[in-house]
Structure formats: C-alpha cells, structure tokens
Structure 1
C-alpha cells in the first residue's frame, strides 16, 4: 500500500469519527428521536444503528491506514 493510500484511509477513519460523533449528538437532541413519554422512536433507532455501523467501519478503515503507514515506515528504516 502506498503512503498516500495509507494516509487517505487513516484520514477517512478520523473524519468518520468526527462526523458521526457530531451526528449522534444532534440525533440525541432532536425532538424526532423521542416520544412524549421519553422512549426512543424508530427514527432514533435506525439512525443510531447507522451511526454505530459507521463508527465500526471508520475504525476498521482507519486501522488499515495506520497499519499501512507503520509497515511503510518499517520498510524505509
């Protein structure tokens, strides 16, 4: 894997965490997320699952990028 690809994957993983943390904060604060009695709506559950999957994929992609960078540094040393 090239250094450029590894950096892209690492940046994508970090970006994914930044974006989805913001999304979950906004989701939690949204009036559409909760019923009047305080329970979660289907809107909340679906979007929370989407965020969790995105956290997992972003983490995996970021780890691949990090490992690619480390491997590149070891071969250059």
Structure 2
C-alpha cells in the first residue's frame, strides 16, 4: 500500500517539473524529452496503482481471515491423511 501512496505523491510532482522544464517544448511543440518522461510517469503510476490495489486487497484478506499472520496453520496428521 505504501508503494501506491508513494507513487501518487512523487510522480505527479515530477511530471509538473518535467512539464515546466525548458526542454519539454520547442516553439510550443512537445519534444521527445516530454513524451519519454510522460510515458515513464504513466507507466510508474500504473504499476504503483496496481501494487497499491494488491496491497489493499491482501490487507483486507488477512484482516478478514481471522488467522493471525505470524502463526503457522494446523499441522498435518502424522499418518499422511
């Protein structure tokens, strides 16, 4: 979950910095510098969102299972059944 939050805190701010960079536009036309960074930011936000959602789902599943996280489950019978 922390990765998802971190991603959404950092990357939009970085995107704004890239947008304001002098290398981002040439006479009002977006440059490859801007497009490459926009693609990297979009990919990072997508990955961060997926990881964050998976983290929330895992946390909810662990909370709802009623099984403590740091304890082993029931032992298997010794006779193999």
Looking at structure 1, the residues matched to 59 and 65 of structure 2 have their Cα atoms a distance apart, in angstroms, of: 10
> With CA pairs under 8 Å and 6+ residues apart, which has the higher RCO, 1 or 2?
1
**Is residue 6 of structure 2 the alignment partner of residue 19 of structure 1?**
no
Looking at structure 2, the residues matched to 40 and 15 of structure 1 have their Cα atoms a distance apart, in angstroms, of: 27
**Gapped regions of structure 2 (runs ≥ 5):** 68-81
Looking at structure 1, the residues matched to 36 and 6 of structure 2 have their Cα atoms a distance apart, in angstroms, of: 21
Aligned-residue RMSD, C-alpha: 1.2
**Gapped regions of structure 1 (runs ≥ 5):** 1-9
Looking at structure 2, the residues matched to 76 and 42 of structure 1 have their Cα atoms a distance apart, in angstroms, of: 52
Whichever structure has more helix as a proportion of its residues is 1
TM (norm. structure 2) is: 0.79
Shift of 1:76: 2.4
Matched positions, count: 67
Shift of 1:73: 1.1
* Structure number with larger C-alpha Rg: 2
